[in-house]
Chains A and B, each alone.
Chain A
Amino acid sequence: MASQYTTDGALASTTALAGADHVASYGRKPVPQPRGLISRRRILLGFCSLAILAIAVNIVFIVDAAMTSESARQAILNDARLITREATASALGQWPSLQTQGRFMNRLLILLGLSLACFGSFIYVFLRRFIAPLDEMTGSAIEVAGGNFNVSFPSGKHDEIGSLGEALYAVASNYQEVLLVTGTSAGRCRSTLDRMAEILAAEQKDSSPPAAYLKKYMIVLEQEIDMLRHMMNDFEFYQVHFDGRKAVRHAAATREAKE
């Protein structure tokens, strides 16, 4: 059951809150765009530049091979016009090298095709598998940080992106639950206080003893406050801990601050 009501406890909490007012801001802070997006775009841009350079070099090689092959063909044709034994022999002598050059060009074309396919596939997979879910997650996380929990996180994939999505969803759902429980509890406290005020107002009119009613409502308030205190104890904070009544800095954090 609920513990005994203590006036000093309420006073201590009030003092702690009043003391915290000048050091803590309770307003929502704007969430800046993450720098990761910029660096990720730079990496992607660098990769694309390298890939385009490789493909361009490949194309230059192909054009060069084609031009060499064409000039050899022209040479054969020019020689053939002379219709001399030497020219025909020369043309026949060049024929195997022309075939080799043709094969070389075909291989370069295949290589170019494969390079383009690999590059295209990589860009497609990279955008679809990594960039799109990461962008979605970043957008959702910014929304949650701004107080909107009605967002979804990509999950269901059994990889790092899926795990990250699940973790972000867990953060959002925990945050939502805590806020809803806190809000509901605050609402019940407010209703209880309103009833207590009504009883005290009625007492002034008809002088009936309100003690029993007030005690009942005080128990409700005690339960709500204890529930919130227990919920606070389940959290771990950086540099501070909640001692049941107020936030206290960790000894290590205090030492560090002094140093």
Chain B
Amino acid sequence: MGMRVLVVDDSGFMRKRIVAELNSWGHSVVGEAKGGEEAVELYRALKPDVVTMDITMRDKDGMTAAREILLEDPMAKIVFLTILQGEKYKAEARKLGAVGFVNKSDPLSLAEAIEQMEQHKKK
């Protein structure tokens, strides 16, 4: 059985692509948020297994939203899915407690990250 995923990205086009990819791997997308504020609200309401989180967003950026979600639920599984590259962001994500940091141009890494979490969930 796939994971219940909440997709957070301010670009509708990217959300569409991520949802298509996740569906093709057998995961179900339970919600889509186009900003950090909406992500926190949807997380509270839906309690998904995984959140794919963009970083650069207009109202509230992904790092802030992830911090808020993890403060409320330290067991939340957040994978940053971003175009930003560099150790600085990865380190910040790790420090926050995110379980993954994936580049948007590399969807296979997202599949691998979610698969790892699925294995972890089964155990």
Stretch touching chain A among B6-14, B65-73, B92-100: B6-14
Asked if B44 is an interface residue, CB under 8 A from chain A, the answer is no
A227 touches B107 (CB 8 A): yes
* A14, B70: Cα distance in complex, Å: 48
* A142, B20: Cα distance in complex, Å: 32
> Taking CB as reference atom, which chain A residue is nearest B9?
A177
Instruction: Specify which of B13, B83, B105 is in contact with A227 (CB 8 Å cutoff).
Output: B105
Instruction: Specify which of A152, A176, A184, A188 is in contact with B11 (CB 8 Å cutoff).
Output: A176
The number of chain B residues with a CB under 8 A from chain A is 18
Asked if A223 is an interface residue, CB under 8 A from chain B, the answer is yes
CB distance from A74 to the nearest CB of B (A): 71
Asked if B108 is an interface residue, CB under 8 A from chain A, the answer is yes
Contact residues in A for B16 (Cβ distance below 8 Å) = 234
B83 touches A174 (CB 8 A): no
Instruction: Specify which of B10, B85, B106 is in contact with A173 (CB 8 Å cutoff).
Output: B10
* A110, B12: Cα distance in complex, Å: 54
> Taking CB as reference atom, which chain A residue is nearest B21?
A230
Q: Chain A, 222-235, contact with B by CB distance < 8 Å: what is the 0/1 string?
A: 01100100110010
A184 touches B104 (CB 8 A): yes
* A231, B18: Cα distance in complex, Å: 11
* A78, B91: Cα distance in complex, Å: 99
Residue from B9, B14, B85 whose CB has the most chain A CB atoms within 10 Å: B14
Contact residues in A for B106 (Cβ distance below 8 Å) = 223, 227
Contact residues in A for B58 (Cβ distance below 8 Å) = 152, 169, 173
Q: Contacts A184-B104, A234-B17; is A170 near B85 (CB within 8 Å)?
A: no
Q: Contacts A169-B58, A223-B108, A227-B105; is A234 near B83 (CB within 8 Å)?
A: no
Given A173-B10, A173-B12, A177-B9, 10 additional A-B pairs, CB 8 A: A170-B11, A170-B12, A173-B58, A174-B11, A178-B13, A181-B105, A184-B85, A185-B105, A223-B106, A223-B108
* A231, B105: Cα distance in complex, Å: 10
Q: Contacts A181-B83, A184-B85; is A174 near B13 (CB within 8 Å)?
A: yes
B13 touches A188 (CB 8 A): no
